[in-house]
Structure 1
Amino acid sequence: MYTVFLNNKGRVLYDTLIYKWDRDDAFIIECDKNVLNSLQKHLKLYKLKRQINFADMSNELKVHAFISNVTEDAIESKNDIKIYKDPRLSDLGCRVISPAQTPEPDIAQVVGKDVEIKENEDGYKYLRYKLGVGEGADDLPPGTTFPLEVNCDYLHGVSFHKGCYIGQELTARVHHTGVVRKRIMPIKFTDTIKGELEKDSVISAPDNPKSNLGKLKGVVQDYGIGLLRIKEALDAKVLAVGKCTIEVVKPSWWPLEAPKDKQPLAKSE
């Protein structure tokens, strides 16, 4: 499952994938390696007197992103290599988890394809940016954004029917009564990137350089993601960041929402 941990102000601290592991009482939490220690400290705050143990498995397990469709939720195979469908989007493919010392041919054999295993994450990040999916502390700096702004509701990462959790009140209020004005969205660079673009560079309308429609969160080749004011960004169509011209893309996987004046009215008692 995909989920995020929030602070008491309802802002995202850590985005994670959680896997049911070998034993009934064991789970693997995948997170950005740069926030591993912080996440462990955060979890231990809520351990209280329960018999729960936390262990760093980063030296024992390795995670790969594999872009392909798998029919089963989890497939176990030899050498303890496991494949899980990414719970966020089918376009993100699968996660392959293996013991750290597993030879690359063994992983390729389990996957069932002729694959080339790369240590560089740029290809995976490029796919995420084209889709408009933020991941990790670089894209989602801890304590800066709300879960609905990072599309957690669209990516099956939040339940509005479960019990209480840290940051629930604000998250539920925004969902049921508020309006989400900003979201992480993909942006396409329409010309060659000129100069170095700094993270959190202001995105503006070309005819009004002082306008602030959002902030750049990351760039790979000709795609990036930004936290943008949805209506203003889509209405403007063409925007600018630094000396570059960009287009905002509304993700095809976003749900279609009926206009409020056409939504069915609830029956009165």
Structure 2
Amino acid sequence: MVRCALLKERELTALTGQDSRSFLQGMISNDIDQLSPSRSIYAAMLTAQGKYLHDFIMVDRSPAVWIDSEEARCDELTERLSLFQLNSDIHIARQGHLLTVAALWGNEAISCLGLEEKVGATKPFGDGLAIVDPRLPSLGSRLIAPAADVEALISSLGIERATSADYDSHRLRLGVPDGSRDMIVDKSFLLESNFEDLNGVAFDKGCYIGQENTARQKHRGTIRKRLVKVSIDGPPPDLGVPITWNKGEIGTMRSSRDGQGIAMIRLDRWAEAKAESAKLHAGPAIVVPVKPEWANF
């Protein structure tokens, strides 16, 4: 069964102009040269210290580059991009509700669109594009298209209609972080947020803002904590609630829903707690950290 949800919390920004790609190359964590009409990418923007600001999916809709990001923070994103464009030939425009972002998941969520099951695989879809999620194919596929095109697909293929909350449960089951709900703006680092495993950072490209500290963490192996999936037994903990055991704090809760969530966990303390078969608590709930199947740490 394929399910489809309209992601009204996402919005597109279009960048056009002859300098747009070279401009983005100096701004994002991934390699813009890997972006093509047949491949989309996942990337982030960082502070000069390498701390998280924004993450997004990037799509080549020549002559434009489309950026699929959090709707609630789209103004912040466009303002930051505009801050650095100076005299470059770049035009930045929010797309509002001209295009809809939809997520499809389930056993045939990729094949029903005629896509290969490859990270970021992309093809035209009506007046928009269909893509395999560039973070993780098991997340499913994504449609960026006029709402009428998405509705026509749902009707023609008998796809089950779902909600953003349903999709949120799906990505939590996989242990995939969701933007600023799970990463803390101006505080989180990419590698502790699993960006390398989620295809969001390139270590063989030129310089970009925040590159130096990200590369240093990679080569020194200094990541002491990670975002991990947690199962929750009890009332859902609020965002930021400490996770504790009998020797103190081990991490903090991030997003959660339906008995599962994401948490930032200290890896050494987690290993110690597992060795002692200790119970971890987030408020009155018991939480059990689980390393996502796709993670390599």
TM-score normalized by structure 1?
A: 0.85
What residue number does 2:19 align with? none
Task: Quote the Cα distance in structure 2 between the aligned partners of 1:35 and 1:158.
Answer: 21
Instruction: Find out whether 1:167 has 2:205 as its counterpart.
Output: no
Q: 1:203 aligns with which of 243, 256, 262?
A: 243
Q: 1:178 aligns with which of 213, 221, 230?
A: 221
After TM superposition, the structure 1 = structure 2 runs for residues 250-265 of structure 1, keeping only pairs within 5 Å, are: 250-255=291-296
- CA distances 1:212-248 after superposition (whole Å, capped 9, x unpaired): 1111001101101001112322442431100111111
Task: Quote the Cα distance in structure 1 between the aligned partners of 2:259 and 2:253.
Answer: 13
SS at match of 2:181: helix
Q: 1:65 aligns with which of 98, 103, 108?
A: 103
Letter in 1 for 2:292: P
SS at match of 2:144: strand
Letter in 2 for 1:192: G
Instruction: Find out whether 1:108 has 2:158 as its counterpart.
Output: no
Change beyond 3 A, Cα 1:103–1:147: closer
Q: 1:74 aligns with which of 112, 122, 126?
A: 122
What residue number does 1:225 align with? 262
Task: Quote the Cα distance in structure 1 between the aligned partners of 2:269 and 2:128.
Answer: 46
Letter in 2 for 1:241: A
What residue number does 2:131 align with? 84
Instruction: Find out whether 1:15 has 2:65 as its counterpart.
Output: no
Task: Quote the Cα distance in structure 2 between the aligned partners of 1:19 and 1:77.
Answer: 13
Letter in 2 for 1:204: T
What residue number does 2:144 align with? 97
Deviation at 1:166, TM superposition (A): 0.6
Letter in 2 for 1:220: R
Change beyond 3 A, Cα 1:10–1:253: same
Deviation at 1:125, TM superposition (A): 1.1
Contact 1:4/1:12 (CA < 8 Å) preserved in 2? yes
Task: Quote the Cα distance in structure 1 between the aligned partners of 2:148 and 2:132.
Answer: 23
Q: 1:246 aligns with which of 287, 293, 296?
A: 287
Task: Quote the Cα distance in structure 2 between the aligned partners of 1:135 and 1:203.
Answer: 20
- CA distances 1:161-205 after superposition (whole Å, capped 9, x unpaired): 10001111110000001321111100001x332xx6321000011
What residue number does 1:153 align with? 196
* Unpaired stretches in structure 2, ≥5 consecutive residues: 1-40
Deviation at 1:98, TM superposition (A): 1.3
Q: 2:64 aligns with which of 26, 29, 33?
A: 26
Q: 1:35 aligns with which of 65, 73, 94?
A: 73
Deviation at 1:152, TM superposition (A): 0.5
Instruction: Find out whether 1:45 has 2:93 as its counterpart.
Output: no
Contact 1:204/1:213 (CA < 8 Å) preserved in 2? yes
Query: Which of 1 and 2 has higher RCO (CA within 8 Å, sep 6+)?
Result: 2
Deviation at 1:8, TM superposition (A): 1.3
Q: RMSD across aligned C-alpha pairs, in angstroms?
A: 1.8
SS at match of 2:268: helix
Deviation at 1:136, TM superposition (A): 2.3
Change beyond 3 A, Cα 1:167–1:81: closer
What residue number does 2:46 align with? 6
Larger Rg: 1
Deviation at 1:154, TM superposition (A): 0.9
SS at match of 1:46: helix
Give the strand-richer structure, 1 or 2. Answer: 2
Task: Quote the Cα distance in structure 2 between the aligned partners of 1:127 and 1:175.
Answer: 29
What residue number does 2:186 align with? 143
Task: Quote the Cα distance in structure 2 between the aligned partners of 1:123 and 1:43.
Answer: 32
TM-score normalized by structure 2?
A: 0.77
* Unpaired stretches in structure 1, ≥5 consecutive residues: 258-269
Contact 1:81/1:107 (CA < 8 Å) preserved in 2? no
